[in-house]
């Protein structure tokens, strides 16, 4: 578009010719916003800048507002969109270098398709001087006394309002109908980080409420604060987000109350409160409640486990005996107990392997946490993983709720794996991983859980032979066998039989509410002659049966001695045949013959009150394991019965 030096014309701007603009009483400039070109200006505008009109026509408008280009673009876009706009945010520089603070009114000019904007500029300092002069003249006309009275009245009102605003702990600020800030109290300044003079006249939403907590844009039309003076209703918001000057945010609750003038809303007062402390307290309380619930659930499981242990008729006994074998066991327990080393207790059934495990636990630093026992021989193959590691609801058919496994239950304590040789080979790898990493996953869950568990394992099997037969992992064996302890069979510590028998006798009398009975020397000698394949557990059972059947005293020579095997009643002893010492093979043959006789008498039944295990005073699982080792099938005897 050609531009002359004095009187430019553009289509559609005849009504806004330079001659017309020159009659405006305030500095004015006509701008083509699309081309950023000054189309015309009046003499007052040239005088405000200290320049000639001709030197400015045709120049970019943004040249007048140096370093304010973004604000000018936004301001002109608002003018073109709304038809008019107003601002106190701009400054302009006089030719002499003096910076002039401006108040600008803007209006769209020309035809609808034009993007022409008329700007009226006012020197804010000059306006302030004129207002003060007008007020002085007004009060002078009204009289000096009236002026003083009004001045004092306003001072008192302002002082009272300031005291109230300063005393309130909540943040308070006001906005006009355009959403621009009209006042801010000190509490709001502290919480927002903005000074009073930095917020005045600025659109409050764009300063402190422009985004949600996650950073997504918060449109102005959705802001509840602005809704208050649009619909004239009070809006209360319980959870929202304000932003500070430094870019950080904080949770708030606020109330936006409309300011009414003749029934019309002209603005709103916003009272807000920082919710950071309350939300942090709620979060900590929620975490504490979750922790309490977790501990409660764990205690319930531990209590159920302990009740299960009590219902299993477990009796805690101290290790009784003065033989060298017992002293050696006690000494090794004292060595390993203070450490966290895994222990493998080996020995025949009934020798007190579980007693050794409990003694290690009680002498360790983990004594305040539970000793969790798992009888590996009694767990169905399909439930091993769930029993060890737990499962989540729906992990498999029948999993109606979450279940805590034995490893998690023993966290911080000791896990006793009884009959560890019964663990299926496919599960041994997972057990090895827990022992190495102290980590596991529940069945049906991807979350990895960490535990701090000490493992004590026990077995009556020869695990080295099991390794050779590929029934037990060698790496798992070495992980368990950090510190081995052998539980010596009773036949290798005969000197402990009198002490054990006396202990069991006293306990049985109390248990069955019988008069105190005396163990005689002859009784002890008879007990020493027996081979005791069931070891200490068998001795205890024999004593208990004698207490039940005895009248006034024990007499193993009487027919009541049927409770003892024939060898202990003076019949053919297991260890001796006349004066000849029997070999291990001969002893094994006698044991096989004894087992075969029991299976024949019970028709191949191992379990139950009328089974071979009950007849032999052995645990059914122990008898089943021994039969398997000796390759004796109970089914053969059931067939022979039929």
Reply yes or no on whether the pLDDT at 568 is more than 60.
no
Name 360's Cβ contacts closer than 8 Å, sequence gap at least 6. 333, 336, 337, 343, 414, 456
pTM value is: 0.45
Q: Which residue has the tokens 């066998």?
A: 481
Lowest mean pLDDT among 111-125, 444-458, 575-589: 575-589
User: Per residue in 55-112, pLDDT tens?
Assistant: 888 899 988 888 888 898 889 998 988 889 999 989 998 888 889 999 999 999 887 7
CA 206 to mean position of chain CA atoms:
37
pLDDT tens-digit readout, 294-319: 777 667 666 656 655 544 444 334 68
236 — pLDDT class (breaks 50, 70, 90): confident
| pLDDT at residue 158 greater than cutoff 80 | no
**Is 509 in contact with 517 (CB distance < 8 Å)?**
yes
281 phi/psi in degrees, rounded to 5: -65, -40
Give the pLDDT mean for 442-460.
89
Instruction: Supply the angle between the helices 497-511 and 521-529 in degrees, to the nearest 10.
Output: 110
Q: Report the C-alpha gap between 628 and 498 in whole angstroms.
A: 33
DSSP 399-446: --S-EE-HHHHTTTSEEEEETGGGS-HHHHHHHHHHHHHSEEE-BT--
DSSP 56: T
CA 184/CA 396 separation, integer angstroms: 62
Name the pLDDT band for 415 (thresholds 50, 70, 90): very high
Q: Band of the pLDDT at 475, cuts 50, 70, 90? A: very high
Closest CA to 369 of 295, 419, 479: 295
Element (H, E) at 188: helix 186-192
**Using one digit for the tens of pLDDT, what is the confidence trace for 596-611?**
888 888 888 888 777 8
Q: Which of 284-288, 408-412, 528-532 has the highest mean pLDDT?
A: 408-412
Report the alpha-carbon distance of residue 465 to residue 562 in Å, rounded: 37
Give every CB contact of residue 500 below 8 A, 6+ residues apart in sequence: 320, 321, 490, 536, 539, 540
Query: How many residues would you count in the chain?
Result: 642
Mean per-residue pLDDT of the chain:
80
For residue 287, what pLDDT is reported? Answer: 82
**DSSP string computed for 504-557:** HHHHHHHHTT-------HHHHHHHHHS--TTHHHHHHHHHHHHHHH-SSS--TT
CA dihedral 319, 320, 326, 329 (to 10 degrees): 10
Span 269-297, average pLDDT: 82
The owner of tokens 């040239």 is: 46
Quick one: angle between helices 144-167 and 124-142, nearest 10? 120
Phi/psi at 532 (5° precision): 50, 65
What is the predicted pLDDT for the residue at 300?
A: 66
What is the CB neighbour count within 10 angstroms for residue 542? Answer: 23
Q: Which residues contact 7 (CB under 8 A, 6 or more apart)?
A: 17, 18, 40
Please give the pLDDT value at position 2. 37
Residue 164 binned pLDDT confidence (cut-offs 50, 70, 90) = low
- Per the DSSP assignment, residues forming a β-bridge with 459 are 346
Cα–Cα distance between 255 and 148 in angstroms, integer? 38
Q: Find the range with the poorest average confidence among 179-183, 359-363, 464-468.
A: 179-183
What whole-number distance in Å separates Cα of residue 130 and Cα of residue 240?
44
């Amino acid at each position: 578009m050609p531009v002359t030096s004095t009187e430019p014309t553009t289509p559609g701007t005849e009504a806004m010719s330079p001659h017309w603009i020159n009659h405006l009483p305030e500095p004015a400039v006509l701008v083509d916003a699309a081309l950023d070109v000054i189309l015309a200006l009046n003499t007052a505008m040239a005088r405000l800048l200290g320049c000639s009109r001709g030197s400015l026509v045709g120049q970019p408008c943004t040249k007048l507002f140096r370093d304010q280009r973004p604000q000018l673009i936004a301001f002109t876009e608002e003018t073109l969109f709304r038809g008019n706009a107003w601002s106190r945010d701009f400054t302009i520089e006089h030719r002499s270098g003096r910076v002039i603070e401006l108040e600008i009114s803007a209006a769209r000019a020309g035809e609808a398709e034009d993007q022409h904007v008329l700007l009226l500029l006012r020197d804010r300092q000059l306006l302030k001087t004129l207002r003060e002069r007008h007020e002085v003249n007004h009060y002078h006309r009204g009289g000096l006394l009236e002026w003083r009275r009004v001045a004092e009245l306003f001072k008192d009102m302002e002082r009272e309002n300031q005291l109230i605003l300063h005393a309130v702990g909540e943040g308070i600020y006001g906005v006009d109908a355009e959403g621009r800030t009209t006042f801010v109290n000190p509490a709001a300044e502290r919480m927002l980080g903005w000074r009073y003079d930095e917020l005045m006249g600025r659109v409050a939403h764009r300063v402190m409420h422009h985004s949600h907590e996650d950073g997504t844009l918060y449109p102005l039309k959705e802001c509840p604060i602005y809704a208050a003076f649009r619909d004239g209703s009070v809006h209360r918001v319980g959870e929202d987000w304000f932003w500070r000057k430094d870019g950080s945010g904080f949770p708030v609750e606020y109330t936006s109350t409309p300011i009414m003038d003749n029934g019309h809303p002209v603005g709103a007062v916003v009272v807000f409160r920082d919710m950071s402390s309350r939300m942090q307290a709620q979060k900590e309380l929620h975490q504490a409640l979750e922790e309490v619930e977790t501990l409660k659930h764990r205690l319930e499981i531990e209590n159920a486990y302990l009740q299960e242990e009590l219902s299993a008729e477990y009796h805690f006994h101290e290790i009784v005996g003065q033989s060298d074998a017992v002293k050696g066991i006690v000494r090794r327990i004292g060595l390993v107990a203070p450490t966290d080393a895994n222990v493998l207790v080996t020995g025949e059934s009934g020798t007190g392997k579980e007693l050794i495990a409990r003694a290690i636990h009680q002498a360790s630093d983990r004594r305040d946490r539970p000793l969790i026992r798992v009888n590996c021989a009694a767990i169905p193959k399909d439930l091993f993983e769930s029993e060890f590691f737990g499962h989540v609801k729906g992990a498999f058919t029948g999993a109606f709720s979450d279940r805590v496994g034995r490893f998690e239950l023993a966290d911080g304590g000791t896990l006793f794996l009884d009959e560890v040789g019964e663990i299926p080979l496919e599960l041994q790898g997972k057990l090895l991983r827990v022992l190495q990493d102290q980590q596991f996953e529940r069945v049906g869950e991807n979350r990895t859980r960490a535990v701090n568990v000490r493992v004590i394992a026990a077995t009556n099997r020869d695990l080295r032979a099991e390794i050779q037969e590929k029934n037990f992992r060698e790496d798992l064996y070495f992980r368990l066998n950090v510190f081995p302890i052998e539980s010596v069979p009773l036949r290798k510590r005969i000197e402990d039989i009198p002490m054990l028998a006396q202990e069991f006798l006293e306990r049985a009398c109390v248990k069955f509410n019988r008069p105190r009975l005396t163990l005689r020397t002859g009784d002890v000698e008879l007990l020493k002659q027996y081979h005791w394949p069931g070891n200490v557990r068998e001795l205890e059972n024999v004593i208990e049966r004698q207490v039940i059947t005895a009248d006034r005293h024990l007499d193993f020579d009487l027919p009541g001695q049927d409770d003892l095997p024939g060898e202990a009643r003076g019949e053919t002893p297991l260890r001796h045949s006349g004066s000849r010492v029997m070999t291990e093979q001969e002893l094994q043959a006698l044991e096989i013959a004894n087992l075969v006789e029991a299976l024949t008498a019970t028709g191949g039944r191992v379990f139950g009150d009328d089974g071979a295990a009950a007849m032999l005073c052995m645990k059914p699982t122990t008898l089943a394991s021994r039969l398997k080792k000796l390759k004796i099938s109970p089914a053969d005897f059931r067939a022979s019965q039929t």
